[in-house]
Structures are given as structure tokens and as C-alpha cells.
Amino acid sequence: GENVEQHPSTLSVQEGDSAVIKCTYSDSASNYFPWYKQELGKRPQLIIDIRSNVGEKKDQRIAVTLNKTAKHFSLHITETQPEDSAVYFCAASGTSYGKLTFGQGTILTVHP
Amino acid sequence: DAGVIQSPRHEVTEMGQEVTLRCKPISGHDYLFWYRQTMMRGLELLIYFNNNVPIDDSGMPEDRFSAKMPNASFSTLKIQPSEPRDSAVYFCASSLSSIGEQYFGPGTRLTVT
């Protein structure tokens, strides 16, 4: 099955800096790569996703890049704010229709 | 829509007892997912349904776990008998299609003593 590795496990930045989280996946058939944000005690919520026919997608301060050849994708957050502090999860679809495999998560802390 | 609804929000039970978690997906969503979240293992998919039919239950840890979806608006996850290592937050999620946003419920925090 699909295996997703996520790095780093923790990331600390100053407000206004950029943050980058990276994920690698094992199944070359994966075609959908979402990113979820989970605030403390809350449910995961989708913040951005990308499909395998696109190399990059941007939504305001967040962007995701995908390198299918290398089987890795990254989340970029610019001009970070304290409210960006949360756990971020990447995921990949694998070959099972509808099934997502999640990375282990990255705890992002943005210091004011 | 109220979003995905889960009950109970918190459950504390003793080892050996039966536990039933409930989920109401968003109306019109054809896919329903059950996840378990722990610090050690992260977010794990247990089972998912398409049009009320179980598609993949390979994540169900063992025979003590079972899930049903008797209709499009209701699903249950049952643990019998429960063990302390089952303590976790259990999320239900639903989606319109196989590829696309999954909407998570608020979760059920299960503690087995």
C-alpha cells in the first residue's frame, strides 16, 4: 500500500517568516495530494489540494508543489501568522479508490 | 447543513465493555470514512464505505472492531470488547466523491480504563 513520510515533525518560525513542510510518497499511481490543518482539540480541515496533472497550486499565502518524478510534494506558507500555528498533515491517494494515507504530521508554531 | 455529526463526543468505559460510536454524514455524500488518531500512530484510516457498502476495511485493527452503515445517513463503529490500547480520538468523515475534500466530524474521544 501507499506510504507517506512527512518532515519535519516540528517547525518553529517567527511571525512573517515562511514555512515549508515536505512529504514523500511511495505509490507512483497516487494522483491526489491534499493538505489538512488541525488546530488543538479540533477536527482536521482541508486547506489546499493538488492533483497529479498539476505541478503547483496557490491560494493566497499557501501553495503546494508536486514533483511526480521524485514522488514528493511540499506545502509553503508565506508571511506566517500566529493563527497558522497548528498540526499540518499531508496525504496521498494511493491506488485504492477513495483511500487516503496520511503523513505523521508537522507541528507548526509561529511566534509573534 | 450541520456538517458531519458524531456522538458521543466523549466516552469513558472500562476494559471489556462494548463501545458504539455513531456518525451522521453530510447529506448527499456518497463516501464515509472512519479514522483513529493517536499520538503514536497518527491518523489512521480504519474503514470506508461507498454508497453504504464497505470498500476497504484493511485498517480495522482486529476482529474486536466492526463497522456498519445501514443507510446513507447513519454509520456505527463498534468495539467489543474494548481494551485500554483502543483509547484514541475517532473521527468520521464524509465526501462527495472518491477524490476530493473529506469533511471531518468533531470526533469522539474514547478512554478505556
**Residues of chain A neighbouring B108 (CB-CB closer than 8 A):** none
CB contact under 8 A, A32 and B104: no
In this structure, is the dihedral angle defined by the CA atoms of residues A97, A98, A104 and A109, taken in order, positive or negative?
A: positive
For chain A, give the mean pLDDT.
94
Cβ burial A32-41 (10 Å sphere, 16+ → b, else e): bbbbbbbeee
Q: Can you tell me the mean pLDDT for B86-102?
A: 94
Residue range B63-72, pLDDT digits in tens: 999 999 999 9
Rg of chain B in Å (alpha carbons):
13
Residue A94 has pLDDT above 80, yes or no: no
- Measured between CA atoms, how close is B30 to chain A, in angstroms? 11
pLDDT at residue B50 in the model: 94
In the structure grid, which three cell numbers stand for residue B31, read together?
Answer: 463516501
Are the beta carbons of B78 and B66 closer than 8 angstroms? yes
